[in-house]
Structure 1
Amino acid sequence: MSTQTENVLVDVAERVAQPEASWHSAMPEEQLNCFVQVVASVERVGNALGTLAFTWATVVLLGGYPTSITCVDFAYATALFFLEAARYASMISHM
């Protein structure tokens, strides 16, 4: 047998003999899966907040609120509206 095959056999035998020790050696895949799940969750939360902000800005701009807010707040709502609309349009074009 080659040295590499013997090393693999010894490694497998050690993992079977000490399951709690082998958990740490399998950790990189589990850490990667956990990281991917966290990133996906953050992405979903970000998309939900973006949708909420887009809806709020739409209500402010198209509703009766422009007359009751200051010019600065109206400018922020308008900027938010156009930024989210651009994000949505770019997301649709990538599909």
Structure 2
Amino acid sequence: MADLMIDFASLERARRDLVEVEGLLRGPCRGMSELPADVAGHDDLRSRLRDFGDEWDFGIGRLAQFSGAAADALSSIQKTFTELDDELAAAFDQ
């Protein structure tokens, strides 16, 4: 039978990194959504700038959302394994 080892410090670092990635991605989303397409004098260029901003906002927003969800999942994994470890330790102490 194999031992299951969880490196909680690595798990926590990965979770923190994902939270940081989420924050880093949210900034460009705000910047692109606030970009005034009206500064372009040509109608076609204005339309393309709006489309680009919308697509950028959607795509990067989804990456930020997935990063946040992955960080939440890692928190849940850590909590579950910690609880299981505590239960197993208590069972052996009886």
What TM-score, normalized by structure 2, do the two folds share? 0.46
Q: Which has the higher contact order (CA 8 A, sep 6+)?
A: 2
Normalised to the residue count of structure 1, the TM-score between the two structures is: 0.45
